[in-house]
Structure 1
Amino acid sequence: MTMLTQRLAASLEATARLLRRGGDTKVLVLGGVRSGKSRHAERLMAPHPEVVYVAPGPPAGNGDPEWAERIARHRARRPGNWRTLETTDLATTLRKASRPLLIDCLGTWVSQVLGEVGAWDAADGWELRLDERMEDFLAAFSAAHVPVVVVSNEAGMGVVPATFSGRVFRDVLGTLNNRVGALVDSVQLVMAGRVVRLRERAYQ
């Protein structure tokens, strides 16, 4: 085992020990598309006998075969005793939680919420409705008293999106990641299947 592999294994085990203790341990797992972030988050929650997997994206039966196949692959690798909850009401889910939560992911949730508040059509008052949803989620997340692992996309490393919708999505998700990062006990970045623990305090 290489020194790097040893450090990564020790880091994973340290986080898993914290999660096993229960309480208010919270972890944010960031990464790009196909980076391995979801698998890493699932490994962090593996010590718990019961986990609620919260899927805040489009439902499996939305008529998109590719999306349904993607969801099926995720479900197939999760333990059979985990429960799946499909919802965009993350605030209520966090407030009612009595067992560990794995939320995967904030990127799909932000996309859904932007549609619900009318951002894509620039409907009157969408910014206010969006702020209310974000603040409600952050308040509930901060107050949660169960272990929570949140997965999110790191979407701000590329060029500025050419479309209004792309820029809104990137800016909202980037801001949300920043604020969630300030509330968690650990931020972990997954790149090409490798995990980097980010220990510095986030900017406010």
Structure 2
Amino acid sequence: MTKLTQRLAAALEVTARQLRRLSGPEGKVLVLGGVRSGKSRHAEHLMASHPEVVYVAPGYPAADDDPEWAARIAQHQARRPANWRTEETTDLATTLRKASRPLLIDCLGTWVSRVLGEVGAWDQTAGWEQRLDERLEDFLAAWVSAHVPIVAVSNEVGMGVVPATFSGRVFRDVLGALNSRVAAEADSVQLVVAGHVVRLTEDARR
């Protein structure tokens, strides 16, 4: 192979990688970040080139008695393209298994908070640990077997002080462990810090 041919081959490979980036994620991407870090905007940017996206909102819905939370939700909704469909659910496992279009899940942190409430963790109801494990394992199995492009957003909660309350420690520990397991089965793991993206792992195809 001549030097000119080698240069052409290298240039074509660079172009191919750029085109793959423009087409949006092909596999599973986990986007981590702190509060107001820009992680949601980055996740939305990753999905922007897909003609149709299902935006999965597993967090608490807007409530009249919490205008601040309602305003946050409205802000997110206003950024979504008109061709995106929103699905509000805590049954992420079923959503993943039935998916036929790209998914953006925002976010795993609010989902964990709701699931902890549903299984009785906050009141330490008997058997809550087992019920929690079943929900998490069901989601993780669905995450592994999913065949559509997925971007999942989650909070990075392990860099602060130890929470002073039982509920805070449970949330931190459960979400931290979940993030690690989701990351292990992701094609790309990206951390957003103050609006800047750090790619912790990257799909070899890119």
Please, what TM-score do these two structures have when normalized by structure 1?
A: 0.87
Show the counterpart of 2:114. Answer: 112
Could you tell which deviates more after superposition, 58-67 or 170-179? 58-67
- Distance, in Å, in 2 between the alignment partners of 1:168 and 1:124 is 15
Separation (CA, whole Å) in 1 of partners of 2:76 and 2:24: 25
Look up the match of 1:88.
90
Matching of residue 27 in structure 1 with residue 60 in structure 2:
no
Residue identity opposite 2:187 in structure 1 = D
One-letter identity of the residue aligned with 1:186: S
Measured at CA, do residues 18 and 175 of structure 1 come closer, stay the same or move farther in structure 2, by a change above 3 Å? same
The DSSP-based 3-state class of the residue aligned with 1:168 is: helix
| Count of residues in Structure 1 that have an aligned counterpart in Structure 2 | 187
Secondary structure of the equivalent of 2:147? coil
1:12–1:44 Cα contact (<8 Å) kept: no
Whether 1:157 aligns to 2:159 is yes
Matching residue's letter, 1:180: V
Alignment-derived partner of residue 74 in structure 1: 76
Whether 2:168 is the aligned partner of 1:143: answer no
Q: CA deviation at 1:67?
A: 1.1
How far did 1:63 drift?
Answer: 3.5
Show the counterpart of 1:185: 187
What does residue 121 of structure 1 align with?
A: 123
Shift of 1:12: 9.1
What is the aligned-residue identity percentage?
77
Question: 1:180 & 1:16 partners in 2: Cα distance?
Answer: 24
| CA distance in 2 between partners of 1:12 and 1:108 (Å) | 33
Residue type of the partner of 1:132? E
* Contact preservation (8 Å) 1:119, 1:126: yes
Structure 1 unaligned segments of length 5 or more: list them: 1-10
Note the C-alpha offset of 1:16: 4.4
Separation of aligned partners in 1, 2:64 and 2:130: 28
Match of 1:156, SS state, is: coil
Aligned AA for 1:141?
A: W
> Highest Rg: 1 or 2?
2
Return the alpha-carbon distance in structure 2 between the equivalents of residues 173 and 62 of structure 1. 28
CA contact (8 A) 1:41 1:149 kept: yes
The CA RMSD measured in Å over matched residues stands at: 1.8
Residue of structure 2 equivalent to 1:130: 132
Task: Name the amino acid aligned to 1:179.
Answer: R
Q: Residues 12 and 65 from structure 1, CA distance in 2 versus in 1: closer, same or farther, beyond 3 angstroms?
A: farther
**Secondary structure in 2 aligned to 1:41?**
helix
Structure 2 gaps, min length 5: 1-16
Contact persistence 1:51–1:99 (CA under 8 A): yes
Contact 1:16 1:45 in 2 (8 A): no
| 1:53 maps to which of 43, 52, 55 | 55
Output one character per residue of 1:120-149: Cα deviation in whole Å (capped at 9) or x when no partner.
000000000000000000000110010000
Equivalent residue, structure 2, for 1:3: none
Q: Say which SS state the counterpart of residue 62 (structure 2) adopts.
A: coil
Which residue identity is paired with 1:150? A
